[in-house]
Structure 1
Amino acid sequence: MLSEIPLVTLLFGIVAAGNSVESRSDTLTDRIENEHAIKIEIDAAVRKYTEPLLQELEKLNEDTRKETAVLRQDLDTLKQENALLNERFHTTKAENEKRQHHLLSVVEYIGMNQKDTIKSRKKRQPIEAVAFHAYQNSDKCIHDLQTFVYDNVLINDGNGYSANDGIFDAPVTGVYVFTWSVADFHDWYAAELVVNGMSRGATIADNDSQDIAVGTAVVVVHVQAGSHVFVRRSGGGGCNVLNKPGSATNSFSGWLLYITEP
């Protein structure tokens, strides 16, 4: 069948086909070039807008790196300062504990010295002036267990003796000396010294003749401060006691020998 087609027709077909292909090739090339140009424009536009952003971002990153470096440096400084503070705290705590222990030792030492000083002062302190002497002014009738009231007071240093009731109240603790006398005529009469309700000594005046009898006793006794000391009748043939100033009297005396620990 190919041989039946005229040659001219064939040539025209070939030429037409070639022109068509060439036309299509030119169109594809133009499209490629256009797309390439568009891509170039797009890339240029992207670079135009993104480069400042990238520069700004890089600047921000650089600032962030600098700030981070400063923060790290500050953090290192804070760590060092914290370490120094911890060291100072522990050092101060140890020093305070040491000082507290030393202070407690000093306080204990001072306390012991104060006790020793007080004891030493008590031992060295002069004897406090405590002394009294009193007697009865006239004859009196004193019954058994009745207290003698010596109303005439000659001396009362320390104000321990009371002429109202005949009782001596010890102002300080210590060793005291007490002496008392009882006078009677033609009879017998006994009197005892009482310290806080306990009898600490007694004396008796006894005479069957017409003479005056006098009994005297001396007692050395330890007495607590505030103790009551007095003389009372402990027995006798009659109630009358003799008081003759210048010859025989009922008297009561006492004085502090030395102070002792309470």
Structure 2
Amino acid sequence: MNDVQKLKNEVQCLETKNSHLKAEIDYKTNSCTRTLECLNQKPHVAFYAYYSDNFKGLPIGTTLVFNSVETNLGSGYNKRTGIFTTPTSGVYAFTWTLHAAGKHIAGSSGSNYGEMNTAIKLNGVTKGVIVADTETQYDNGAGTGFVVLNLNAGDEIKIVSDRYGGQGSMYSSDQNGRTSFSGFQIT
């Protein structure tokens, strides 16, 4: 490719980036006037995070911190706190999965196999609950929850060990399934 063509490609790329930045500014300052135009300009918000390794059941009220982040469009998910903060108002969908281990791993001890109840909380209020439980050795268990919520900018969503404390071990691996949390903006 000659130098002139390289420069043309670079200019085109910069023009596209500039257009996207202008659209984001217009959306955030409510400068767009036509509904369809505003919807097309709305920035994308989506995240997917999971535990990077197996872990022990957590005490009641503990926020699960999904420390490995694959996607974080809109920068709403904080991998240090485990909290998703809504960057823009709208309707969002969230899903979370918990994998209980039917053997003792991740430093757990005693006769308990993996068992934990988790809740998705919006500003501290429960909006959904799942349980993953094992009763015998090698009896792995999993649970997945899904909720759709109408949120305001600044709302906080988190997954919390709820109702009874977790016990035993939880899986998060390529072999046995990832304990994960994800969400995306619908409108």
TM-score, normalised with respect to structure 1 = 0.50
- Are 2:130 and 1:203 aligned? yes
State the 1:240 CA deviation.
Answer: 3.5
- Pair 158,241 (structure 1): closer, same or farther in 2 beyond 3 Å: same
Count of matched residue pairs? 143
Determine which structure has the larger helix proportion and give its number: 1
TM-score, normalisation: structure 2:
0.69
Gaps of 5+ in 2: 1-29, 102-112
Q: In structure 1, which of residues 140, 164, 172 is the aligned counterpart of residue 80 of structure 2?
A: 164
**Unaligned runs of at least 5 residues, structure 1:** 1-114
Contact 2:117–2:166 (Cα < 8 Å) also in 1: no
**Equivalent residues of 2:115, 2:169 under 8 A apart:** no
| More strand as a share of residues | 2
% identity of equivalent residues:
29
What root-mean-square deviation, in Å, do the aligned CA atoms of Structure 1 and Structure 2 show? 2.1
Q: Please give the alpha-carbon distance, in whole angstroms, between the structure 2 residues aligned to 1:246 and 1:219.
A: 27
Code of the residue aligned with 1:251 in structure 2: it is S
Paired residue for 1:133? 48
For 1:184-234, what per-residue CA distance to the aligned partner results, in whole angstroms no more than 9, with x for missing partners?
Answer: 123421111011111110111122132211110100011110111110101
Aligned-pair CA distance for 1:236: 4.3
Partner of 1:137, secondary structure, is coil
Tell me the distance in 2 between the aligned counterparts of 1:241 and 1:121.
Answer: 45
**Runs of 4+ that moved beyond 3 A:** 121-127
Kindly indicate whether residue 127 of structure 2 is the aligned counterpart of residue 212 of structure 1: no
**1:250 CA drift (Å):** 1.1
> Does the aligned pair in 1 maintain the 2:115–2:168 contact within 8 Å?
no
With over 3 angstroms needed to count, the CA separation of the structure-2 counterparts of 1:160 and 1:121, relative to structure 1, is same
The answer to which structure, 1 or 2, has the higher relative contact order (CA under 8 A, 6+ apart) is 2
Residue in 2 aligned with 1:223?
Answer: 151
CA gap of 1:257–1:220, structure 2 versus 1, over 3 A, is same
SS, match of residue 129 in structure 1? coil
Native 8 Å contact 1:143 1:239 kept in 2: no
